[in-house]
Amino acid sequence: TYKANNISIIIYYVNPNKFSTLPIFFTWSQAMYYRFIISKLLYNITDNILYLDSDILCLNSFENLFHQNFSSNIAGVVSDHDSMLNYAQKAFNLNSNYYFNSGFLIINLINWEKNNISDKAISLLLNKNNFKYYDQDVLNLLLANKTLLLEKKYNTIYHLADMNTPISNDTIFLHYSGSVKPWQSWGQYHFLTPLWLKYKNNSPWKNVPILQPQTYKQAKFMTRMSYRNKKFIKSIYWYIKYSFWKIKSKLKV
């Protein structure tokens, strides 16, 4: 526990093996399920909690978030891209006017626990296999018509791989969503990466090096992003590495 300026930081260590039976993807680990145990840990400590994915930057004050009137709603959310709603309606018949991104959630713990959301989510994941975005799909299904829709500024979803538009000045939380991150070497070409690096360089992790490709899938990202940014020699280099690593990986199977 660390306390300073009326702020208390408490670190909870979670055993990922608790979620070993739940599905994962190569870009998402069991950590995506940690939000399911938050309510159990904090239910008797506070009424509302703010959950943020680790690929989010805070750029402006979010004080007003905690003045929201939840009424019977379980969480405050921000809608994802329109294409995600189309996906959810086709994939699992989502009965809602929007599909929210679970990287940002302001949760009313009383309503969450009353509706037994965590246990229901884990049960669904264990018994159904048609979810593509796992925790996010399940939460959209369970919280349909039980969420308070908030403005986009609270979760500005930005894909470094394919977006080149500036963000609004009133953006509160910038979400580096998608498979390309600003701490990866293949994410260094984007104009929003220096913003993340500025905060990194003022943090205790300033000396942690940028992640280099370690797998053939990461080498493929590096190849693609280098080519897009006209770094052709580097692209050729990583294409060779990608090909070699992929062949090596397949031979081990």
Give the model confidence (pLDDT) of 234-245 as tens digits: 999 999 999 999
- 53 and 8 within one domain: yes
**Rounded Cα gap, residues 1 and 145, in angstroms:** 37
Nearest to 161 by CA among 135, 189, 138: 189
**Residue 252 clears pLDDT 80, i.e. is over it:** no
pLDDT by residue (tens digit) across 57-112? 999 999 888 888 888 899 999 999 889 999 999 988 898 999 999 999 999 999 99
**Rounded Cα gap, residues 149 and 95, in angstroms:** 15
Which of the listed residues 119, 154, 189 is the one where a domain comes to its end?
154
- 116 and 16 within one domain: yes
The model's confidence at residue 160, banded by pLDDT at 50, 70 and 90, is very high
pLDDT, mean of residues 143-167: 94
- 113 and 32 within one domain: yes
Residue 90 Cα distances to 85, 87, 93, 214, angstroms: 9, 5, 6, 35
The pLDDT value given to residue 151: 95
**Rounded Cα gap, residues 104 and 108, in angstroms:** 13
Nearest to 108 by CA among 155, 50, 36, 63: 50
The pLDDT value given to residue 179: 84
Low-confidence winner among 11-15, 23-27, 58-62 (lowest mean pLDDT): 23-27
The answer as to whether 163 is a domain residue is no
Counted domains in the chain: 2
- 148 and 226 within one domain: no
The answer as to whether 161 is a domain residue is no
CATH number at residue 28: 3.90.550.10
The pLDDT value given to residue 1: 53
The model's confidence at residue 15, banded by pLDDT at 50, 70 and 90, is confident
- 243 and 207 within one domain: yes
The answer as to whether 226 is a domain residue is yes
More confident: 151 or 36: 151
Which structural domain, as residue segments, surrounds residue 224? 180-252
What's the predicted TM-score (pTM) here?
Answer: 0.88
- 216 and 107 within one domain: no
**Residue 16 clears pLDDT 80, i.e. is over it:** no
